[in-house]
Chains A and B, each alone.
Chain A
């Protein structure tokens, strides 16, 4: 241990204290964002931070006492938080381009890339859906095992009435709020519970498929089948599609945990989650759109032919978007991906 040419702790602290206190003051001021500081202070901050970092290294090398080292650690840590803080990143170049890229390229690509999981999710949803529908058509009381009777009866009456009266605007706004709260919540939960090896997502998909199928079958068995199909056709492709995509994303993170390949399980999970997040976000946006359509259009008094044509067009557009959007575009550098 050679300390012959180093200062004593007291002399070191006395000499350097000025800069430490300056950095401390600047850090405190910059807590609310580096941008709020005057330009001169911002310029001063960086060299100050580096020189205090050097002091810390010197203090550790010279084996100064723990309180001094702790103080410098605290000081540099606080300054580090400001220097590398969310404010400091500022406007990343092309953030707008990034959002556009996410919708036009990244989202449909991610769906295609994980098509195995998405198709499995679709099967987990639509097979119980068809089953629930068919079983209920054969025996309407089957629906009561899946969905409470108290909920089914008023629903049926509402559909039986048809849409001649339309919906008043306030009612529509209320329903929009409800659809967002309920449906987006279900989709996000359906994704999150995929962490348990995909089982949570699978459960949600099957359960939702079965009950929606049962409702459809029951309403149809009571003679309002045409009405409910006309109601669903407008927003159905977005809404059911989004649930399937969210569930597929959940299956995907679950599978990345079960079969991580060459990676450690945690790393595999983290990577997959970052890749699949765009699909979850896309599903959420689809559900917002579906909520608006369902609240203000599906229940409106527009003629049923128009509703069917609009719904069909939307379905075709959605399929084309997921299948073809973003093909042939070059992938930009993905800075956020962990190496």
Chain B
């Protein structure tokens, strides 16, 4: 499994290496449109309320009251907040604005930590440069040129926008039906597969049930013959051969290995001797 070029590796203080997927322009644009709709929607609602209040007051007093003017001042303040404050506060406090939340994005520093006030302020101040000359053209060009899809604001603040992913646990692969002694008799005791081979066979075994039988055989046949020749092992069914080889390569010799991954007899000795770790 070689990481895609949209992956960024992060090492934490626990010496765990994460791979964050960096968000591309399309998804970020969608999130941004949602944010804009929310912000300017709120400003418009405020404006309508002020206008209605002014009209209501105007019928009584016959002129636009000074309170209404103050109301419009408030609308301008709201407009200012939408342009310069909204993103800073959301990103500094929650690491994401509501629009980003909706499309599943998060802003982190390039070292994978949550951003603070300074970074949030910088990346959103520089928005004024990114949206030039029209439609975030500068930002998109900057994203295309940088390795982490960073617009100018991200570059200056040292941040990036990532897509946090939550994988569900998958069941470990099991050999089913269990191997028959006849099948195991000729299987070599030690099988070494390199990482690519393992990954390829594993991917195939996980997906083979969703393929048609003919397609399954066709795909398995492409690699089973070469692999069988190398190991000096043959099986009628190429798909089954891959399953057996994988099971032995991965499980043989491990604690609590299933019987199928080892010689039935040798396994009996082993499990008696291994005990609990």
Contacts and interface: CB of A to CB of B under 8 A. Distances in A.
A46 to B, nearest CB: 11
B152 A195 contact: yes
B253 A3 contact: yes
Interface range for A:
35 or more
A196 interface: yes
B40 interface: no
A188 interface: yes
Interface in B66-82: 66-70, 72-77, 79-80
B92 A7 contact: no
Contact of B167 (A4, A73, A175, A184): A73
Nearest to A176: B73
Interface string B247-262: 0001101111110010
Interface string A254-287: 0000000000001001100110010011000000
Interface in B35-94: 65-70, 72-77, 79-80, 83-84, 92-94
A68 B170 contact: yes
Nearest to B246: A65
Interface in A1-41: 1, 3-11, 13, 17, 20
A195 B258 contact: no
A309 B158 CA distance: 46
Contacts of A185: 80, 83-84
A277 B19 CA distance: 31
Contacts of B1: 66
A9 to B, nearest CB: 4
Given A74-B165, A192-B125, A8 B172 contact: yes
A80 B12 contact: yes
B156 to A, nearest CB: 5
Interface in B113-137: 113-116, 118, 121-122, 125-129, 132
Given A57-B16, A73-B19, 4 more contacts: A8-B250, A9-B250, A65-B202, A74-B165
Shortest Cβ-Cβ A-B pairs, 5 listed: A170-B66, A177-B73, A67-B170, A177-B76, A173-B70
26 contacts: A8-B251, A10-B171, A10-B256, A10-B258, A11-B254, A13-B169, A17-B169, A49-B14, A63-B195, A65-B202, A65-B250, A81-B106, A84-B12, A86-B93, A89-B116, A174-B72, A180-B76, A188-B84, A188-B125, A189-B128, A195-B126, A253-B156, A273-B156, A273-B157, A274-B122, A277-B122
Interface of B: 1, 12, 14-16, 18-20, 65-70, 72-77, 79-80, 83-84, 92-95, 106, 112-116, 118, 121-122, 125-129, 132, 152, 155-158, 164-174, 192, 195, 198-199, 202, 206, 250-251, 253-258, 261, 277
Interface of A: 1, 3-11, 13, 17, 20, 49-50, 53, 56-57, 63-68, 70-71, 73-78, 80-81, 84-86, 89, 168-171, 173-178, 180-181, 184-185, 188-189, 191-193, 195-196, 200, 253, 266, 269-270, 273-274, 277, 280-281, 336, 338
